Amino acid sequence: MAITLREPTLPDAPQIAKLHVATWREAYSHLLPAEFFTEDHVQGRHVMWHRILGNPRQDWNIRIAEHNAQVVGFAFAGPSYGGEGQDLPRDRQLFSLYVSAIHHGAGVGQSLLDAAVGDGPAMLWVAKDNPRAVAFYRRNGFAFDGTEQTDPGAPRIVDARMLR
């Protein structure tokens, strides 16, 4: 399967937003109520990606994976971010990495991770109840550090921090 990685541009925002919602459905539908995926949620992802791609920063590293001119995955990394007073044990953070389920196991996620953060020190947050993602990150040298948090917007998802 031929996959192309590239840096996205503003016109890619709708496809990325659509994939973002679809991959959340695939990964977290067992943890989120059906009403979570409202039209407001979908529109929120569109606004988010329009804002991110419309105001790029030098210290962000965003890549999309395409197959047959369709976005099938994306990764977004940048300087570590935390709340006031939060311990930030790494300078780089992987904010998101999602691949359409139909492309799981084809190396798309690995290519995106390599392009977004390389093999250096980094941190990320992963849903503890996403065993596929946890195993993927462990294979890439990440380990839990014992720090957990819950997203107020998705309170049934407990995120755990992983470091490499």
What are the φ and ψ backbone dihedral angles of 113, each rounded to 5 degrees? -60, -45
Which is it for strands 154-163 and 143-151: parallel, antiparallel or unpaired? Answer: antiparallel
Q: Which domain holds residue 14?
A: 4-81+88-163
Q: What is the pLDDT of residue 33?
A: 84
- Per residue of the chain (164 residues), what is the pLDDT tens digit? 799 999 999 999 999 999 999 999 999 988 888 788 889 989 999 999 999 999 999 999 999 999 999 999 999 999 998 766 677 999 999 999 999 999 999 999 999 999 999 999 999 999 999 999 999 999 999 999 999 999 887 878 999 999 99
d(CA 160, CA 164): 14
Q: What is the pLDDT of residue 85?
A: 66
d(CA 48, CA 91): 23
d(CA 22, CA 27): 9
d(CA 80, CA 98): 19
Two tokens, residue 73: 């995955």
Domain with residue 137: its CATH number is 3.40.630.30
Q: What is the pLDDT of residue 84?
A: 65
State the burial class of residue 150 (Cβ atoms within 10 Å of its Cβ: 0-12, 13-18, 19+): exposed
Question: Which stretches within 9-161 are classed as H helix?
Answer: 13-28, 39-54, 108-117, 131-139
Instruction: For residue 164, give the 3-state DSSP assignment.
Output: coil
What is the number of domains present in the chain?
1
Asked if 47 and 16 touch (Cβ cutoff 8 Å), the reply is no
Which is it for strands 92-99 and 123-127: parallel, antiparallel or unpaired? Answer: parallel
Neighbours of 15 (CB within 10 A): 18
DSSP 163: E
